[in-house]
Chains A and B, each alone.
Chain A
Amino acid sequence: MKKILWGFILCTVCALAKANTGVAFVHGTGEQSDAFNDYWTGDFVNSVRQGLPNQSNFVVINCDFTQFMWDDRAAGCLAGQLTNFVNSRNITDLVVITHSNGGNVIRWIMSNPTFDSRYPNIINRMRWAYAIAPSSGGTPLAEQVIAGNVFEQSLGFILGFANDAVRQQQPDWMAFYNSTWLLGTAGRPALPRRFWNIVGTDVESSPFDPDSYCGGYTETLALEVTQEFLDSCSDGFLNCSSQEAAGTLWFRDVQATNGREPLNHNQSRRPCFGLDVILRNNV
């Protein structure tokens, strides 16, 4: 698979020799106002953009991804910021880097090009998406979050964190949207642009292993609880099967990271184990 991607990259380099390349960083679930610092960290973004011919050609998206993917505050906001970016900088070769639920929001745009007159222009300028740990098939943890609120819902008070984005990422909900409104999963028409998956496969969370601290130390004790809901192959939040449910596998973490280290769900948006360099070399 990697050979295929390298082939694509070589072809693209030839075909787009005069293209103006830009990179957009699209965050996951949450409402962001400073995703550069709060979601990705400046180290990650600044490292990746070094691979651009013009390092100023990047944008870090700040939208409200607590909403359903189609919501004007989610896909609409993303479309607005991408449109401003490609138009203002005359980007003709857009690489979109997403993390987690950000993959669903860009997939909404790619799957429903007629939903918004801004969408076709974005798709037409896209080279492809690098979807890091995308929640394409949802996660059992979302289901558990929602289930924990059923009683509260029935009593008429709904807690804020059981937001629509979490609701949407329940496995049965994603199965429905993947079969109707979203493209790129098995048996469905392909997306109009490639959606390359980078998959996190494990969580290493020993306090005695310094690698566990990259991207922030992951709560070991609670992982013993949450991992029970997930498959043996997961990044601590998403099963590998979910991350690979749509698009094309680029690589599983241990196939490409320094020291063959796995990337947990937090580490896959940070400069951990050379992920930033891999992306830098492929934008």
Chain B
Amino acid sequence: MIKLSQKNLLGLTLAIGLATSHGFAHAEKMTLLTPSSNDMTSQALTTLDGIALPAINKSKERVTFSQVLSADATINTAVNQRFVKESRNFQMEISGAQLNAGVNIPVASESAVIRVIPMKNSPQIDSKQLKINTNGRWMNHDEAFATAVNENQLRAAGLESPKNTIAVKMKATPSDAGMMMKSEQGLQSSDRFNVMVFEPNSNEVLKTRLNKSRVVQGETIRVRTRLTNGSKKMAMNNVSAYVMAPNSNVKIPVELKTRNNVAIAKIDTSKMVASAPGLWEVYISAEAEKGQAKTLRSAKVGFAVAPMTARLSGDVDVDLASADNMAFSFDVENIMAGRYEVSAVIYGTNANGDMVPGIMSSTAKWLDANGTITLDVSKADLKQAGLSEPLEVRHLKLKDQTRLSELWSQDSALKM
């Protein structure tokens, strides 16, 4: 039976045992295992001279941290990597002239929520002067809408909205051809409005999937999008996409190819460099004809592009000889000074012979040029977790804390 009071002695014993069984007299050079196709790594660094990247964290202090993980923890680095977005939304930009004359809003389901947001210098829409036409009959406010609220009411309920926004929840049942909306408040022809529609009860859904939600710059992200009605794919006669950088208003067109009613795009990230933190976003708009009516849907999905500021060379100095700690020194190549963090989970073998997570360790430091970052792992902590050899280093990550990007993510990195 192990006693806590013998911790130091046991730590020493473990160290000697590990060192002896694996022949690690002092330090030994190892090489990272070959990354799998699911890992995120980079082979070479290219220059980033002259590019303004965000500089979020410029702290120069070396900071380390370790935590003992529960042995029954299940870590899955692929979790949420393939984000699927389902949208029952669409939006249209309409003019005052259109609203005066009556404009088709292609709503096809009951209880739709419609927000009308005046664009610059355009007036607030008076919902009392809105009329709705379905199946050839015009309805006034009370007949058409279950609810009508203004910007302040929306804000009080948690939905901050632009100035003079109104929102209505439909009571009228739309026809197969949608519905007409008309204003009788005498709008200027040049007035413009952003109409945002959400159909919570619609079966018509735009499903968009990215094969990766994060890449190192230069990798390709594949986008698949399809419009479905229940389990059936709808024929899209118009689908378009563009990408926007974080905190930018510049639209980068994306070429979509449609086959079997699925639109596919490859987003080339080689020129994607952002000067602000946050995610890039791909915006999709799709349209399907269905007889006299049409279905509109739009969606957006975020993804991260890490500027290739650093990489792991693959060389690791492993030192198991110390009585107290195991040290894993990872060789970091970088082309931009910054604060970099290496983290990993040390797995060990439990009494049942199973390889289970033991300790998560991380170290960050400032690197002006190529250097090493060392993870120190307490042997006493490992022993306290009931783990012994063989050991593995898994979930190895390299992060750039200055630019806030993940540069390297490798599930299985070292086996000892």
A interface with B by C-beta (< 8 Å) = 68, 70-71, 112-117, 119-120, 123, 141, 144-145, 147-157, 159, 161-162, 164, 166-168, 170, 172-173, 175-176, 178-181, 185-190, 192, 218-219, 221-226, 228-229, 236-237, 265
Contacts and interface: CB of A to CB of B under 8 A. Distances in A.
A200 to B, nearest CB: 12
A148 B194 contact: yes
Interface residues of B, number: 75
Contact of B69 (A70, A168, A190, A229): A190
B46 interface: no
A170 B67 contact: no
A252 B117 CA distance: 36
B119 A172 contact: no
Given A114-B65, A148-B196, A225-B157, A176 B279 contact: yes
B117 A187 contact: no
| A-B complex: 3 closest residue pairs judged by Cβ atoms | A187-B79, A114-B364, A222-B157
Contacts of B213: 172, 175-176, 179
B260 interface: no
Contacts of A150: 91, 194, 283, 300
B249 interface: yes
Given A151-B117, A155-B119, A161-B160, A224 B278 contact: no
Given A70-B56, A113-B65, A114-B65, A222 B159 contact: yes
A161 B61 CA distance: 35
B55 to A, nearest CB: 11
A149 B116 CA distance: 12
Contact of A226 (B67, B159, B341): B159
A108 B283 CA distance: 28
A25 B110 CA distance: 43
A209 B90 CA distance: 37
Contacts of B311: none
A119 B401 CA distance: 14
A181 B404 CA distance: 9
A218 B401 CA distance: 41
A115 B162 contact: no
Interface in B328-383: 341, 343, 345, 357, 360, 362-364
Nearest to B406: A180
Given A144-B159, A179-B79, A219-B153, A151 B198 contact: no
A144 B196 CA distance: 9
Contacts of B341: 114-115
A141 B85 CA distance: 15
Contacts of B158: 141, 226, 236-237, 265
Contacts of A221: 147, 149, 153
B277 A68 contact: yes
Contacts of B63: 113-117, 119-120
Interface stretch (B226-234, B301-309, B316-324): B301-309
Nearest to B364: A114
Interface in B268-322: 277-279, 283, 300-304
Given A120-B65, A179-B81, A188-B76, 5 more contacts: A115-B364, A148-B115, A156-B249, A172-B300, A222-B159
A189 B304 contact: no
A219 B406 CA distance: 42
A115 B57 contact: yes
B278 A164 contact: yes
B251 interface: yes
Contacts of A172: 83, 85, 213, 279, 300-302
B156 A188 contact: no
A226 B111 contact: no
A218 B83 contact: no
Contacts of A190: 67, 69-70, 73
Nearest to A162: B160
Nearest to B373: A114
Contact of B157 (A149, A153, A167, A226): A226
A187 B76 contact: yes
A21 to B, nearest CB: 22
B363 A114 contact: yes
B133 interface: no
Contacts of A192: 65, 67
A189 B75 contact: yes
B220 interface: no
B253 to A, nearest CB: 14
B155 to A, nearest CB: 8
B183 interface: no
B154 interface: yes
B167 interface: yes
A155 B300 CA distance: 18
A57 B228 CA distance: 57
B329 to A, nearest CB: 16
B45 to A, nearest CB: 21
Given A115-B57, A115-B364, A148-B117, A224 B147 contact: yes
B410 interface: no
A192 B377 CA distance: 16
26 contacts: A68-B277, A114-B363, A114-B364, A115-B59, A117-B59, A117-B61, A119-B65, A120-B63, A151-B91, A153-B249, A170-B302, A172-B300, A173-B302, A176-B80, A179-B79, A185-B79, A187-B74, A189-B75, A189-B345, A219-B149, A219-B157, A222-B156, A225-B159, A226-B159, A228-B169, A265-B158
